[in-house]
Homo-oligomer: A and B are copies of this chain.
């Protein structure tokens, strides 16, 4: 199911292959976010042809809209959305605690109010697994409790205990006859020993892969890196490791060096829709007036459709005029930038040059910010 291809001699970075029911996925991998089944503004064909063989969708959102009966009628979420790659569905645990107007936890499950129409629902670990079996997701994520930064150790410990019990119930609820994979989510807030405890406990449950959750939620970079290091060190080496909701190019390349194999993040697509572009030399905001007359593309080292065909001046005009095509072009560009980075990371690990690549990449990414006409987004 997961095979490690090559380990980097100077860090914990590694390449591998993950086999799901619908795809074989090279790792490290970046999974674009299609919360409601669609990566906003682009087609499933464009996504797949850009090399994204797995995307992420969200159980909480799809459960509320279009609802289970609709997706059930189509047999799977893949059939419904016409995306031919693999789909990992997040459980909705994070959304219940971040979007819902209220959320009440007991050992049984989580009661919450829809952010759309105020209706009340209950998710149990068992139900959430079944929902994802109805989606026929390639990878199922279990319900967990997200306690957020700044809570006391007592609360963090209580939330973790529930999460661990729910993890066990999720594994047991999964239909073993079906070939959907199930990952478990390592939590532990920002406490070293809780992170350790969580990783060790879940390792025993023999899931198909392990996520690291509850990070990149506002803490500083050093704390994130420390917590990630602890979680990864206690998770099984022979299983894929997935850092949820991360992140910037810098976060990703750092996490790869710590041994992470999988990532998802809204950044490349969400930021695209506000005019923010990632480039090899740093970040820029296409709405900035410095781009008004510029004939060059967003990134002269980029081979995406946007960079091969459109100037910064045109893109700025389209953005300022609120043309939705401009959001699509920047989404294509940002996703291409992420994919290109991931391809280079894999190549560098496989030929033993990862640390050099990482250092060069990080250094080069600081160029735009250091120019006098600073075009980076603050």
Contacts and interface: CB of A to CB of B under 8 A. Distances in A.
Contacts of A321: 36, 65-66
A41 interface: yes
B324 A40 contact: yes
A318 B65 contact: no
Contacts of A80: 311, 313-314, 317
Contacts of A305: 43
Interface in A63-89: 65-66, 69-70, 73-74, 80-82
A37 B317 contact: yes
Given A293-B70, A317-B70, A325 B42 contact: yes
B73 A295 contact: yes
Given A41-B324, A42-B325, A325-B43, A36 B318 contact: yes
B42 A313 contact: no
Nearest to A41: B324
A316 B40 CA distance: 15
A283 interface: no
Copies per assembly: 2
Contacts of A40: 323-325
Interface residues of A, number: 36
A38 interface: yes
A36, A292, A321: which has the most chain B beta carbons within 10 Å? A321
A70 B292 contact: yes
A328 interface: yes
Nearest to A46: B325
A313 B313 CA distance: 38
A173 B309 CA distance: 34
A129 B38 CA distance: 44
A313 B294 CA distance: 43
Given A293-B69, A293-B70, A327-B324, A314 B82 contact: yes
Closest 6 CB pairs of A and B: A66-B317, A36-B321, A38-B323, A324-B324, A41-B324, A82-B309
9 contacts: A36-B321, A38-B323, A40-B324, A73-B313, A80-B311, A80-B313, A80-B314, A324-B324, A328-B328
